[in-house]
Amino acid sequence: MNSVDIEALTQKIRIESQFVEKILESTSNIIVGQDKMMNRLLLGLLANGHILLEGLPGLAKTLAIKTLASSVKADFQRIQFTPDLLPADIIGTMIYNPGKNDFSIRKGPIFSNFILADEINRAPAKVQSALLEAMQERQVTIGNETFKMDEPFLVLATQNPIEQEGTYPLPEAQVDRFMLKVKIEYPDMEDEREIVRRNLSGQVHQAVPAIVSPKDIVRARETVNEVYMDEKIEQYILDIVFATRGSDKPALAELKPLVSYGASPRASINLARASKAMAFINQRGFVIPEDVREVCYDVLRHRIGLSYEAEAENITTEDIIRRILNAVDIL
């Protein structure tokens, strides 16, 4: 792609990405001190990837997802995951009709644009697995019939990292379906001061106006796919992912005993897609290395398995990713 084409594409993206700033500005009236979380929610929406939000209670995870759904004017369903939940409670089931002496299909809450899987690790594996087909294949099978999901379709799951009682950790196959795993931190003191003041004055949970439609999001996703990625950026992404699986480079050799398994090919795909979406959000028609590094932690942190040695030394997946980014250069 020549410079003229890139310039024209950048101009097109500057026009089509204007809604991003409007959404962030609108949601900031509701969500205070969680700019990164809102950025990542938009990133997953534009990159057509599901998101796992991990954070302590009270950090506005659920509120952020509901606010984003309102700004997109999309159908929204919240599913509270509990130990007694059944797969049929999510995808639907066959209902017997005595009058007609036959069965009819009753669709579950998963048939929506935005699915909030609240505290997903509180439901057992058979319920968690009910989401697998919908998340990966964008379809749901009930009985002998298969139904395609309406676009955009986005699963946004939350989980509490500190509670172990009554929880069921997500298996690796399930976690790998999420494009991003975003860790939510506490707001700083000034932001929390604003949160307190808004709550005391009753200025919370206001209605968020619809800024874009689901069709606008689908069209924006097509533009995201057009974002130019140079071969050097592609190689940079592959070098990062392959480094998680072991490398002979002296700077990375010490990581081998710390990693039990590396990132899957899905990581390479998602890192590329997320980097393109980040360029779109930044109103650029091409990907730069900073885009890759910006999303790298969220794409890879749940795809790297730590060895017992790493856990004994209190080494985290973030530490592994940081070392990889410091050692891998773009050619």
Domains of the chain (ranges; CATH) run 30-212 (3.40.50.300), 227-327 (1.10.8.80)
Torsional sign, CA 266, 296, 261, 241: positive
CB of 318 closer than 8 Å to CB of 301: yes
What single string gives the DSSP state of each residue in 48-105? T-EEEEE--TTSSHHHHHHHHHHHHT--EEEEE--TT--THHHHEEEEEETTTTEEEE
CA–CA distance, 331 with 132 (Å, rounded to integer): 37
In the chain, the percentage of residues whose pLDDT exceeds 70 is 95
Residue 52's region, left for phi above 0, alpha for psi from -120 to 50, else beta, is: beta
pLDDT at 76 over 70: yes
Mean pLDDT value across the chain: 87
Instruction: Report residue 105: phi and psi, to 5°.
Output: -95, 130
The first and second tokens of residue 32, run together, are 């205070």
Instruction: Give tens-digit pLDDT for 299-308.
Output: 999 999 988 9
* pLDDT computed for residue 277 by the predictor: 96
Question: Which residues, 6+ apart, have CB-to-CB distance to 295 below 8 Å?
Answer: 43, 180, 271, 274, 275, 278
Q: What is the mean pLDDT of residues 84-109?
A: 86
pLDDT at residue 269 above 90? yes
- pLDDT value at residue 171: 80
CA atoms within 13 A on the CB side of 268: 16
What integer pLDDT is reported at residue 221 of this predicted model?
Answer: 93
Contact 50, 120 (CB under 8 A): no
Q: How far apart are CA 235 and CA 39, in angstroms?
A: 26
What CA–CA distances, in Å, run from 75 to 162, 178, 281?
31, 20, 23
pLDDT value at 166 more than 80: no
Highest mean pLDDT among 89-93, 96-100, 178-182, 244-248: 178-182
**pLDDT on residue 204:** 61
Distance (Å, rounded) from C-alpha 52 to C-alpha 180? 6
Answer whether the bond into residue 57 is a cis peptide, omega within 30°: no
- DSSP class of 302: T
Sorting pLDDT into bands at 50, 70 and 90, what band is 325? very high
Over residues 96-118, the mean pLDDT reads: 86
The reported pLDDT for the residue numbered 205 is: 60
How many beta carbons lie within 10 A of that of residue 258, not counting itself? 19
Angstrom distance (rounded) from CA 122 to CA 159: 8
DSSP-assigned letters across all residues of 187-255: P-HHHHHHHHHHHHHT--SPPPPP---HHHHHHHHHHHHHSB--HHHHHHHHHHHHHTT---SHHHHTT
| Whole-number Å distance between alpha carbons of 23 and 57 | 24
Span 241-258, mean pLDDT? 83
Residue 123 banded pLDDT, cuts 50, 70, 90:
confident
The position carrying tokens 């009682």 is: 165
C-alpha span between 85 and 258 (Å, rounded): 37
Q: What's residue 208's pLDDT?
A: 77
